[in-house]
Structure 1
Amino acid sequence: MRIDGLRTEELTALISQARLGDREAFGELVRRHRAQMVMWARRIIGDAVSAEDIVQDALLQTLQKLNTLKDPDKFVPWLRMIVRNRALMELRSTARARSAGWTGWAMDDGMDTEQTMHLAQQEVDLRANLVDPADTELKRQALAEFERLFERLGERERAVLQAHALAELPIPEVAARLGMKSGAVYTALSRARRKLSDANFQAQVSQYVTGRRQRGLQQSGIVSGARYHWFAAAHNTMAATILETLLATGVRNVSLTDVMGLSGHAFSLYATPDIGLSSAYAFDWAKTMRFGWSNLGYSAVIFGGAGLTLRQPDELIGAMEQMQDSIMRGTPIVAWNVASAEFGLICGFDDRASEWMVTDTTVSGKRLPYDKLGRNHPDAEWFAVIPGTRHPVSWRDTLNRVFVQAVRHIRGHEKAILPGCAVGLDAYVTWIEAFQESKIADPLSVAYHAAYTAEARRNAARFLQARLTDGTMNNVCREAEPAVHHAYVSYTTVAEAWAALSRLFPLPFGGNSLGPGPAERAVRLLERAVAEERQAVDALEEAADWLERKVGRS
């Protein structure tokens, strides 16, 4: 039996060790559950900073009351109850404080950082007789840690953070007191928060690495076969990295076309109103990865996703050990933005230097600090995928899933992760209107998307053709062969139209997408492509119906 990633016997052992005062055991319990505790607290309190405070207090209660827990199976509900009660107490105390007119520490005009920290220390000392001594000591340690992080800031950043975050003054008043413009205050706050976050991540990662060394775990590892091959120029880097991962683990009977088809990339199309570069990444990354790996016969452990950022060190540390274990097994990790804004591979690690070895279309074997994964820049998205165990797959079931998914997507029954982004057949309308109404944001973006979609539809045709010529369709559902052949012919025409559009607006120059001649020719090519795409989706739907009948009878 497993409880939130831990087997019951593992959890029992950790609880027993923690009861005896084993700090590492208690730390492991915290590491495994802290992110959940923050989520529980935030749902009640509604504020991320307050939620962190609540979790800190809840952890102290957990340590003090651990001996009262009789059944390890009930650890998570018991932990949730502690967090819930502490959060509700915080809500009630906040309400009482507001009714009494208390607004936190007041900041005198001349108060500096040292004085503010002194007030915080006084607050801890005043409560020393009301709480367990261990509670007070841990709070003193937390305050010392904050002071240490605070020293990383510049003088102006400290003053701004002290006034706004600690004294709770509004931005205009902070600006007036410090003789700054409001815009400069926002900039200083943003920079200070970023520095504090960086310092916190570095400290937590360093502690994790120290723990690995103390446990005698292997300090480095590399997947020597993880590299880009001839298809490194593929515009769809997610599909390319999936294939690279398979090749690195010794799989040789899968092609880029197979990956494009089985993951659904071959049949997808997204378009923002201005045909911006973000259109190529407007799909649900986690869902697409899970769908593709499952159809290839693998489970997948996924961290983060499109539009998600890495907020807490716990999220990164929770993923790191699994990633390092995967590398030791000889399986690289697919990740976003390891060197550039594309999908790449994490193919090695080095605890001594606290660095990953990463590879993508732009670099090979580059070093990336542990704490910068998912945090290369302030708005970086956090996404990493570890292929898991193999499971048997049936071509009949798999093709049915692929065709049904393709029909749903092309008919527009899925939503993009970007607001206003069109999907499937609706994306053709967006493309045509963009040319007719001169909405193109960037000629290079048009060139890239034309090449990207031409590659996708070319692989759609090849995928369907392969299932006809290798006997797959004949074996799994002979009745569906005519429909699959029809879809193959239609997608061949669609691919040709997109290839012609790509030649009209070639990479890396883009061409003149706003000129009347090229724009009119582009519209004619798109109208031809969408007519054939409608034929293709009808044929795929018919093939899916035949496969569904077979699946239902099997």
Structure 2
Amino acid sequence: MDHLIIKPKTHEEHTQIEDEALVEQAKAGDQEAFSELVRRHRSKVYGYARSYTQEAFLAEDIVQDALIRAFLHLGTLVDSRRFLPWLHRIVRNQAYTRLSKGPQKRETVFSSMGKQTHEQEPADWEDLDSILHRLGRSWSHSAQNTNPEEVMVRRELFETIRSLLYCLNPRERRIVESHFFDHLAPHEIAHMFQMSQANVYQVLSRSRKKLIQEKTRVVVDQYMKTRKVAGSMKQAVLNKPEAFTMPTWVTCAAALYGMVESTERKMSLPMILGLSGHAFRLTIVPGNIHIAGPTMFHFQRVLQQGLKNMGFESRAVTSYHLSCEPSMNANQVAPSLLSPEAREKRQLSVLLPEALELVHRSIDKGHPVLAWDLFMPEFGLIYGYDDEKRVFYAGDNCRNDSTIPYENLGRGIVEELFVLAIDRAFPIDQRTMLANALQSALVHYRGEEPQDQSCVNGLATYAAWQEAYEKGTVEPNGNAYTTVVNGDARRYASLFWSEIVDTWTDSVFDEVRPLMKEAAGLYGAIADGFDTLSKLFPFPAGGEPNDAEKGKQAIALLQAIERNERAAVSVLEQIQAGLTANQAST
């Protein structure tokens, strides 16, 4: 007797069936039944996710996680009539889990290469390792209990995850499948493939990086598809920021100026530098005075506090780590390493979907977005986007202005992603702005803020800088850059105090106005001292800082600058005390 061949139902046939029947068919192994359930209810599920988070990319992630869980746990659904409420509950639980972990959740490294067991803790649906192990257990469990041809493989979910493996070469894929799906330990894989156990670890580690990259691309594609379905795909370009013409070496201040100029609370460049605290910052890398020194600060904390001093709440997406080592000097690398082609070869940031969401939202509100390392390791602005071409319109005050592919964000020479956007303005008076700015400056000067272990902050900088000249270990280009940046900042500090004296007419400042004039003079003298040092070691060549005689001249100049800076700090403390006393009396 011939075997009876049962022809699977087509998509058209499935659409005529009620959910209850589809659930039962999916439980029985009909691979199209679950796909039809997904197609039928995906928009509702996405709506559920958006009710818990306003971020489209995060909602899409929650939907994917929830559908994977539903696929793997469909057998636990007792009442097939309750499929949609059951799925809604999974979405809710996934949303609470994701939101409770906060925005800075990171993928973790392979924590264990041993065999996995069914008694392990539940999968972490944000972690690639956990997902693969969980899917691997489900795959092998299904294979033991059903004919392989009847294994319920849902095209839109399970195969999407497994298709990530095809970013690997055949050898890598076989090793990864052996570990995750066949549950073989590294020593067993090493024996099977006649390789060392160390090589197995290397292949698994390398493969995992590739899988994370592919997973990120999938999430970005899903996010863009969501925008398209929602009718949000468009081109939006703001007016080119005036900040691109700002004459300052402190590029983060120029970018902050560009953010603020898009609001109704416009301020001068000296005011931006002063209130944000950047007019008073002083950071170096001891030993060689590396070029990264002036930008080695905690981007999110310092920049967000600077905006708060001016009356703005902000949001950031960042992969920047406070304890990172100085990056390579972009002025001393082959130009090819700064090219778009070089960026495309670097790791795709796992935070890209989150960054895209922030940029889209901010541009749509009329505000450009501050970003790090768009063209070189400096700060710039994203002021537009084109979804069809998937490019940003971006520039800075270093004469860069062009489009940047979405995927190249965070793939600069430093390979760190940082974007910052204004969220909202809040009421703030001049005395509060100044009090906050003074606090930021004094905390920095005293070395009381969290700092990178590789650098020295505030007044302690001068001793470390002089020591580098004494030892003859100074890197000319980095030293020249550090000098000109700090001189420029102090010039704007002088202009900041002068502007307050001339334009802030409220009587609360009357008692400290003479101190402000004194501060303006001191910072002008400090700027003059740095100008003299810059002439001795001009940027970019840098002169000969390790020449013994020139080193003595530099130390003498730094000692004079330090005396003026310490005197200026004393004046700032007096201004702070005066404002506090005035506030107490009123």
**Category of TM-score, reference length = shorter chain:** 0.7 to 0.9
**Which secondary structure state, in structure 2, belongs to the residue aligned with residue 509 of structure 1?**
coil
Confirm or deny that 1:145 pairs with 2:160.
yes
In the alignment, which residue of structure 1 is the partner of 2:421?
A: 386
Is 1:208 the counterpart of 2:223 in the alignment? yes
Q: Give the whole-Å Cα distance in 1 for the aligned partners of 2:185 and 2:390.
A: 39
Match of 1:422 in 2: 456
Q: Name the counterpart of 1:432.
A: 466
Q: Is the 8 A contact 2:348 2:410 kept in 1?
A: no
Structure with the larger helix share:
1
What is the CA–CA distance in structure 2 between the aligned matches of 1:312 and 1:376, rounded to whole Å?
10
Counterpart residue number, 1:245: 259
Matches of residues 40-439 of structure 1 in structure 2 within 5 Å? 57=69, 67=85, 79-80=96-97, 121-126=139-144, 137=153, 142-159=157-174, 161-162=176-177, 169-170=185-186, 174=190, 177=193, 186=202, 192-226=207-241, 229-231=244-246, 234-247=248-261, 249=262, 253-274=266-287, 275-304=289-318, 306-307=320-321, 315-361=351-397, 364-376=400-412, 380-416=415-451, 418-439=452-473
The AA in structure 1 aligned to 2:417 is W
Farther off after superposition, 18-27 or 140-149: 18-27
Alpha carbons of structure 1 residues 175 and 331: separation in structure 2 relative to 1, 3 Å: farther
Find the counterpart in structure 2 of residue 24 from structure 1.
43
**RMSD between superposed Cα atoms in Å:** 4.5
Deviates more, 1:543-552 or 1:53-62: 53-62
> What is residue 27 of structure 2 aligned with on the other side?
none
Residues 426-470 of structure 1: per-residue CA shift (max 9 Å, x gap):
111110111112232x21000000001101111111111211122
Matched, 1:514 2:546: yes
For structure 1, which runs of at least 5 residues remain unmatched after alignment? 1-17, 40-51, 85-93, 103-116
Relative to structure 1, the CA distance from residue 127 to residue 526 in structure 2 (aligned partners, 3 Å threshold; closer, same or farther) is: farther
The structure-2 alpha-carbon separation of the partners of 1:450 and 1:172, relative to structure 1 and needing over 3 Å to count, comes to farther
| CA distances 1:213-260 after superposition (whole Å, capped 9, x unpaired) | 1112242211132365432x522111111112333x276952221111
Following the alignment from structure 2 to structure 1, what is the Cα–Cα distance between the partners of residues 294 and 432?
A: 28
8 Å Cα contact 1:219-1:352 kept in structure 2: yes
Code of the residue aligned with 1:533 in structure 2: it is E
SS in 2 for 1:506: coil
CA deviations over 1:347-395 (Å, ceiling 9, x no partner): 2112212222222346655333323322446x62221111132222211
For residues 146 and 393 of structure 2, what CA distance do their matches in structure 1 show? 48
Provide closer, same or farther for how the CA distance between residues 183 and 434 of structure 1 changes in structure 2, counting only shifts above 3 A.
farther
User: How far has the Cα of 1:261 moved from its partner?
Assistant: 0.5
Q: How many residues were matched structurally?
A: 486
Structure 1 position 333, deviation (Å): 0.9
- Correspondence for 1:42: none
Report the more deviating stretch, 147-156 or 527-536: 147-156
Is residue 2:465 matched to residue 1:452? no
Give the alignment of 1:483-494 within 5 angstroms: 483-494=515-526
Change (3 A) 1:534 1:219: same
Partner Cα distance (1:534, 1:547) in 2: 20
Q: What is the DSSP-based 3-state SS (H/G/I as helix, E as strand, rest coil) of the residue aligned with 1:335?
A: strand
On the 8 A contact 1:31/1:314 being kept in 2, the answer is no
Structure 2 unaligned blocks of 5 or more: 1-36, 59-63, 78-82, 102-111, 121-134, 325-345
Q: CA-to-partner distance for each residue in 1:503-533, whole Å, 9 max, x for gaps? A: 1111110111111011111111111111111
Whichever residue aligns with residue 410 of structure 1, its letter is Y
Q: Which amino acid aligns with 1:448?
A: Y
CA gap of 1:59–1:157, structure 2 versus 1, over 3 A, is closer
Measured in 2, the distance between the counterparts of 1:71 and 1:190 equals 35
- Percentage of pairs with the same residue: 25
Structure 1 window deviating more from structure 2 (296-305 vs 176-185): it is: 176-185
1:550 aligns with 2:582: yes
Instruction: Find 1:467's aligned residue among 500, 510, 517.
Output: 500
Q: Could you give the per-residue CA deviations for residues 259-312 of structure 1, whole angstroms, max 9, x where no partner exists? A: 111110001111222222222122121122222222333221222253289999
Scaled by the length of structure 1, the TM-score of the pair is 0.74
The Cα of 1:204 is off from its aligned counterpart by 1.6
Q: CA deviation at 1:57?
A: 3.8
Give the Cα–Cα distance (whole angstroms) in 2 for the partners of residues 373 and 261 of structure 1: 29
Q: Who is 2:513 aligned against?
A: 481
Q: Equivalents in 1 of 2:488, 2:166: separation in Å?
A: 52
TM-score scaled by length of structure 2: 0.71
Aligned partners of 2:462, 2:353: CA distance in 1, in Å?
A: 43
What code does the residue aligned with 1:425 have? L
User: Is the contact between residue 340 and residue 362 of structure 1 (CA under 8 Å) also seen in structure 2?
Assistant: no
Instruction: Give, in whole Å, the separation in 1 of the partners of 2:163 and 2:98.
Output: 33
Moved more, 349-358 or 265-274: 349-358
Query: How far apart are the structure 1 equivalents of 2:384 and 2:422?
Result: 15
Shift in CA distance, 178/307, structure 1 to aligned 2, threshold 3 Å:
farther
